[in-house]
Amino acid sequence: MLNFHEITVQFDGLVAINNLSFEVSKGNIHSIIGPNGAGKTTIFNCISRYYTPSMGAITFEGKNLITVKPHQIISEGIARSFQNVELFSEMTVLDNLLTGLHSRLKRNIFSIALNLPSVRKNEAESIKKAYKLLDLLQLTHLSNEKVSNLSFGYQKMVDIGRAMMAEPKLLLLDEPVAGMNPVETGQICQLLLRIKEEMNYTILLIEHDMSLVMKVSDYVTVMNFGQKIAEGIPREIQKDPRVIEAYLGEGKSLAEVK
Ligand SMILES: Nc1ncnc2c1ncn2[C@@H]1O[C@H](COP(=O)(O)OP(=O)(O)OP(=O)(O)O)[C@@H](O)[C@H]1O
Protein backbone atom coordinates (compact mmCIF):
# COMPACT_ATOMS: atom_id res chain seq x y z
CA MET A 1 0.00 0.00 0.00
CA LEU A 2 2.71 2.46 1.02
CA ASN A 3 6.21 2.20 -0.33
CA PHE A 4 9.28 4.10 0.85
CA HIS A 5 12.08 3.65 -1.64
CA GLU A 6 15.63 4.75 -0.79
CA ILE A 7 14.46 7.90 1.02
CA THR A 8 17.00 10.39 2.35
CA VAL A 9 16.02 13.53 4.30
CA GLN A 10 18.59 16.16 5.26
CA PHE A 11 18.37 19.29 7.38
CA ASP A 12 21.42 21.42 6.56
CA GLY A 13 24.22 19.09 7.55
CA LEU A 14 22.11 16.61 9.48
CA VAL A 15 20.91 13.41 7.80
CA ALA A 16 17.60 12.63 9.57
CA ILE A 17 16.78 9.65 7.31
CA ASN A 18 19.42 7.81 5.37
CA ASN A 19 18.51 5.68 2.33
CA LEU A 20 15.42 4.19 3.97
CA SER A 21 13.22 1.63 2.24
CA PHE A 22 10.20 -0.14 3.70
CA GLU A 23 6.70 -1.20 2.72
CA VAL A 24 3.39 -1.10 4.56
CA SER A 25 0.93 -3.83 3.58
CA LYS A 26 -2.83 -3.25 3.37
CA GLY A 27 -4.74 -4.30 6.48
CA ASN A 28 -1.65 -4.35 8.71
CA ILE A 29 -0.77 -2.48 11.87
CA HIS A 30 2.81 -1.56 11.05
CA SER A 31 4.87 0.00 13.84
CA ILE A 32 7.96 2.16 13.53
CA ILE A 33 10.10 2.06 16.63
CA GLY A 34 13.52 3.40 17.57
CA PRO A 35 15.28 5.55 20.16
CA ASN A 36 14.75 9.32 20.37
CA GLY A 37 15.93 11.15 17.28
CA ALA A 38 15.97 7.97 15.17
CA GLY A 39 13.90 9.60 12.39
CA LYS A 40 10.41 8.23 13.08
CA THR A 41 8.46 11.50 13.03
CA THR A 42 10.42 12.59 9.97
CA ILE A 43 8.91 9.57 8.19
CA PHE A 44 5.41 10.78 9.09
CA ASN A 45 6.28 14.30 8.01
CA CYS A 46 7.40 12.97 4.62
CA ILE A 47 4.15 11.02 4.17
CA SER A 48 2.12 14.07 5.26
CA ARG A 49 4.22 16.06 2.78
CA TYR A 50 5.51 18.58 5.35
CA TYR A 51 9.00 17.48 4.37
CA THR A 52 10.26 16.65 0.91
CA PRO A 53 13.04 14.06 0.76
CA SER A 54 16.25 15.03 -0.97
CA MET A 55 16.37 11.58 -2.56
CA GLY A 56 14.09 8.60 -3.14
CA ALA A 57 10.43 7.90 -3.89
CA ILE A 58 7.27 7.46 -1.83
CA THR A 59 4.28 5.80 -3.44
CA PHE A 60 0.82 5.24 -2.00
CA GLU A 61 -1.30 2.69 -3.86
CA GLY A 62 1.04 3.18 -6.80
CA LYS A 63 0.72 6.98 -6.86
CA ASN A 64 3.78 9.18 -6.43
CA LEU A 65 3.16 11.00 -3.12
CA ILE A 66 5.95 13.52 -3.66
CA THR A 67 3.75 15.41 -6.17
CA VAL A 68 0.88 15.67 -3.66
CA LYS A 69 0.49 18.88 -1.61
CA PRO A 70 0.06 18.64 2.20
CA HIS A 71 -3.61 19.77 2.08
CA GLN A 72 -4.39 17.09 -0.53
CA ILE A 73 -3.10 14.18 1.55
CA ILE A 74 -6.46 13.59 3.24
CA SER A 75 -8.13 13.31 -0.18
CA GLU A 76 -5.60 10.64 -1.08
CA GLY A 77 -6.90 8.62 1.87
CA ILE A 78 -4.23 9.32 4.50
CA ALA A 79 -5.17 10.78 7.91
CA ARG A 80 -2.94 11.57 10.85
CA SER A 81 -3.36 11.83 14.58
CA PHE A 82 -0.64 13.90 16.24
CA GLN A 83 1.44 13.22 19.33
CA ASN A 84 -0.29 16.03 21.22
CA VAL A 85 -4.05 15.88 21.21
CA GLU A 86 -5.28 18.81 19.14
CA LEU A 87 -9.02 18.91 19.68
CA PHE A 88 -11.46 21.79 20.14
CA SER A 89 -11.62 21.52 23.91
CA GLU A 90 -14.76 23.66 24.38
CA MET A 91 -16.73 21.69 21.80
CA THR A 92 -18.53 18.40 22.40
CA VAL A 93 -17.15 15.00 21.50
CA LEU A 94 -19.68 14.70 18.65
CA ASP A 95 -18.81 18.11 17.19
CA ASN A 96 -15.10 17.32 17.36
CA LEU A 97 -15.70 14.17 15.35
CA LEU A 98 -17.67 16.15 12.79
CA THR A 99 -14.69 18.47 12.22
CA GLY A 100 -12.85 15.42 10.89
CA LEU A 101 -15.22 15.35 7.92
CA HIS A 102 -14.76 18.99 7.00
CA SER A 103 -12.21 18.39 4.27
CA ARG A 104 -14.33 15.71 2.62
CA LEU A 105 -17.68 17.47 2.41
CA LYS A 106 -18.68 18.48 -1.08
CA ARG A 107 -20.51 21.75 -0.59
CA ASN A 108 -19.97 25.40 -1.24
CA ILE A 109 -20.65 28.58 0.69
CA PHE A 110 -23.83 29.38 -1.27
CA SER A 111 -25.48 26.03 -0.65
CA ILE A 112 -24.66 26.40 3.07
CA ALA A 113 -26.01 29.97 3.22
CA LEU A 114 -29.24 28.86 1.53
CA ASN A 115 -29.43 25.74 3.74
CA LEU A 116 -30.26 23.65 0.66
CA PRO A 117 -31.69 20.12 1.10
CA SER A 118 -28.39 18.67 -0.12
CA VAL A 119 -26.59 20.37 2.80
CA ARG A 120 -29.12 19.10 5.33
CA LYS A 121 -28.86 15.57 3.90
CA ASN A 122 -25.07 15.75 4.07
CA GLU A 123 -25.24 16.87 7.69
CA ALA A 124 -27.66 14.13 8.68
CA GLU A 125 -25.38 11.54 7.08
CA SER A 126 -22.34 12.99 8.85
CA ILE A 127 -24.04 12.82 12.24
CA LYS A 128 -25.12 9.23 11.58
CA LYS A 129 -21.55 8.35 10.67
CA ALA A 130 -20.19 10.06 13.80
CA TYR A 131 -22.57 8.08 16.03
CA LYS A 132 -21.53 4.83 14.35
CA LEU A 133 -17.93 5.67 15.07
CA LEU A 134 -18.71 6.67 18.66
CA ASP A 135 -20.25 3.24 19.06
CA LEU A 136 -17.05 1.59 17.82
CA LEU A 137 -14.99 3.82 20.11
CA GLN A 138 -17.39 2.95 22.96
CA LEU A 139 -17.86 6.68 23.57
CA THR A 140 -21.58 7.03 22.80
CA HIS A 141 -22.35 7.94 26.42
CA LEU A 142 -19.95 10.91 26.12
CA SER A 143 -21.18 12.27 22.78
CA ASN A 144 -22.53 15.53 24.26
CA GLU A 145 -19.71 16.00 26.80
CA LYS A 146 -17.26 18.85 26.35
CA VAL A 147 -13.82 17.51 25.42
CA SER A 148 -12.18 19.55 28.21
CA ASN A 149 -14.11 17.42 30.75
CA LEU A 150 -12.65 14.13 29.48
CA SER A 151 -9.66 12.21 30.78
CA PHE A 152 -6.53 12.24 28.61
CA GLY A 153 -7.23 8.67 27.48
CA TYR A 154 -10.71 9.52 26.26
CA GLN A 155 -9.42 12.68 24.56
CA LYS A 156 -6.95 10.57 22.62
CA MET A 157 -9.74 8.23 21.53
CA VAL A 158 -11.73 11.22 20.27
CA ASP A 159 -8.63 12.43 18.44
CA ILE A 160 -8.27 9.05 16.73
CA GLY A 161 -12.00 9.05 15.98
CA ARG A 162 -11.74 12.44 14.37
CA ALA A 163 -8.99 11.19 12.06
CA MET A 164 -11.20 8.17 11.24
CA MET A 165 -14.19 10.30 10.21
CA ALA A 166 -12.58 10.86 6.80
CA GLU A 167 -12.48 7.06 6.36
CA PRO A 168 -8.79 7.04 5.51
CA LYS A 169 -7.22 4.06 3.82
CA LEU A 170 -4.11 4.67 5.92
CA LEU A 171 -4.14 6.02 9.46
CA LEU A 172 -0.92 7.53 10.86
CA LEU A 173 -0.75 7.47 14.66
CA ASP A 174 2.09 9.29 16.41
CA GLU A 175 2.65 7.90 19.93
CA PRO A 176 -1.03 7.34 20.79
CA VAL A 177 -0.31 6.20 24.36
CA ALA A 178 2.36 8.77 25.31
CA GLY A 179 1.64 10.05 28.82
CA MET A 180 -1.07 7.48 29.51
CA ASN A 181 -1.55 5.27 32.54
CA PRO A 182 -1.72 1.47 32.07
CA VAL A 183 -5.54 1.41 32.06
CA GLU A 184 -5.73 4.06 29.33
CA THR A 185 -2.99 2.28 27.37
CA GLY A 186 -5.02 -0.93 27.57
CA GLN A 187 -8.08 0.90 26.22
CA ILE A 188 -6.14 2.27 23.24
CA CYS A 189 -4.66 -1.19 22.65
CA GLN A 190 -8.17 -2.72 22.47
CA LEU A 191 -9.33 0.14 20.27
CA LEU A 192 -6.54 -0.36 17.73
CA LEU A 193 -7.27 -4.08 17.52
CA ARG A 194 -11.01 -3.36 17.07
CA ILE A 195 -10.34 -0.80 14.31
CA LYS A 196 -8.18 -3.31 12.49
CA GLU A 197 -10.48 -6.29 12.88
CA GLU A 198 -13.88 -4.66 12.44
CA MET A 199 -12.95 -2.00 9.89
CA ASN A 200 -9.91 -3.53 8.23
CA TYR A 201 -7.86 -0.38 8.69
CA THR A 202 -4.23 -0.05 7.74
CA ILE A 203 -2.33 1.73 10.51
CA LEU A 204 1.21 3.09 10.61
CA LEU A 205 2.12 3.57 14.24
CA ILE A 206 5.01 5.34 15.95
CA GLU A 207 5.25 4.20 19.54
CA HIS A 208 7.75 3.97 22.40
CA ASP A 209 5.59 1.68 24.56
CA MET A 210 6.91 -1.74 23.59
CA SER A 211 4.18 -3.68 25.34
CA LEU A 212 1.63 -1.98 23.07
CA VAL A 213 3.80 -2.39 19.97
CA MET A 214 4.28 -6.10 20.59
CA LYS A 215 0.56 -6.68 21.21
CA VAL A 216 -0.92 -4.85 18.25
CA SER A 217 1.67 -4.94 15.45
CA ASP A 218 1.66 -7.26 12.47
CA TYR A 219 5.04 -5.92 11.42
CA VAL A 220 7.71 -3.69 12.94
CA THR A 221 10.37 -1.48 11.35
CA VAL A 222 13.19 -0.47 13.68
CA MET A 223 15.11 2.78 13.15
CA ASN A 224 18.31 4.10 14.65
CA PHE A 225 20.26 7.20 13.60
CA GLY A 226 18.06 7.60 10.49
CA GLN A 227 18.58 4.07 9.25
CA LYS A 228 16.54 0.90 9.31
CA ILE A 229 18.36 -1.55 11.55
CA ALA A 230 15.78 -4.36 11.58
CA GLU A 231 12.30 -5.32 10.44
CA GLY A 232 10.00 -8.26 11.00
CA ILE A 233 7.16 -9.63 13.06
CA PRO A 234 7.12 -8.64 16.76
CA ARG A 235 8.41 -12.02 17.96
CA GLU A 236 11.54 -11.71 15.79
CA ILE A 237 12.09 -8.05 16.65
CA GLN A 238 11.90 -8.69 20.39
CA LYS A 239 14.83 -11.11 20.16
CA ASP A 240 16.93 -9.20 17.62
CA PRO A 241 20.28 -8.32 19.26
CA ARG A 242 20.66 -5.17 17.08
CA VAL A 243 17.34 -3.87 18.37
CA ILE A 244 18.06 -4.67 22.00
CA GLU A 245 21.44 -2.98 21.78
CA ALA A 246 20.05 0.13 20.07
CA TYR A 247 17.52 0.57 22.84
CA LEU A 248 19.17 -0.58 25.98
CA GLY A 249 22.63 -1.87 25.64
CA GLU A 250 22.95 -5.58 25.94
CA GLY A 251 21.35 -7.87 28.45
CA LYS A 252 17.92 -6.31 29.00
CA SER A 253 14.46 -7.09 27.75
CA LEU A 254 12.51 -4.92 25.32
CA ALA A 255 9.40 -5.47 27.42
CA GLU A 256 10.90 -2.99 29.89
CA VAL A 257 10.88 -0.11 27.38
CA LYS A 258 8.31 2.68 27.76
N1 LIG B 1 12.69 20.47 10.90
C2 LIG B 1 13.84 20.01 11.35
N3 LIG B 1 14.96 20.76 11.31
C4 LIG B 1 16.16 20.29 11.74
N5 LIG B 1 16.35 19.05 12.26
C6 LIG B 1 15.25 18.26 12.33
C7 LIG B 1 13.95 18.67 11.90
N8 LIG B 1 13.07 17.66 12.10
C9 LIG B 1 13.78 16.64 12.65
N10 LIG B 1 15.08 17.02 12.79
C11 LIG B 1 16.17 16.17 13.33
O12 LIG B 1 16.11 14.93 12.65
C13 LIG B 1 16.41 13.86 13.55
C14 LIG B 1 15.27 12.87 13.57
O15 LIG B 1 14.18 13.51 14.23
P16 LIG B 1 12.75 12.81 14.43
O17 LIG B 1 11.87 13.81 15.09
O18 LIG B 1 12.30 12.24 13.14
O19 LIG B 1 13.12 11.62 15.42
P20 LIG B 1 12.14 10.65 16.23
O21 LIG B 1 12.64 9.27 16.00
O22 LIG B 1 10.74 10.93 15.86
O23 LIG B 1 12.40 11.08 17.74
P24 LIG B 1 11.43 11.05 19.03
O25 LIG B 1 11.23 9.62 19.39
O26 LIG B 1 12.22 11.78 20.05
O27 LIG B 1 10.15 11.76 18.65
C28 LIG B 1 16.68 14.49 14.90
O29 LIG B 1 18.09 14.66 15.03
C30 LIG B 1 15.99 15.83 14.80
O31 LIG B 1 16.59 16.79 15.63
Angle (nearest 5°) at CA 192 between 84 and 173: 35
114 C-alpha to ligand 1 centroid (Å): 47
- In a shared domain, residues 180 and 257: yes
For ligand 1, mutation pick of 14, 20, 84 (most atoms within 8 Å of CB): 14
Where is the domain boundary, 149, 165, 181?
165
Q: What is the CATH number of the domain that holds 253?
A: 3.40.50.300
pTM listed for this prediction: 0.87
- 60 lies in the same domain as 175: yes
This complex has an ipTM of: 0.96
Q: How far is CA 73 from CA 22, 45, 97, 120, in A?
A: 20, 11, 19, 27
Residues 60 and 73 in one domain: yes
Show the domain range for 152. Answer: 90-165
Q: Out of 19-23, 52-56, 80-84, 203-207, which region has the weakest mean confidence (pLDDT)?
A: 80-84
Instruction: Decide whether any atom of ligand 1 lies within 6 Å of the 16 Cβ.
Output: yes
Rounding to the nearest 10 degrees, give the CA dihedral for residues 91, 97, 103, 106.
-100
- The pLDDT tens digits for 101-155 are 765 555 566 655 666 666 666 778 888 989 999 998 889 999 999 999 998 888 9
Interval 163-191: pLDDT, tens: 999 889 999 999 999 888 999 899 999 99
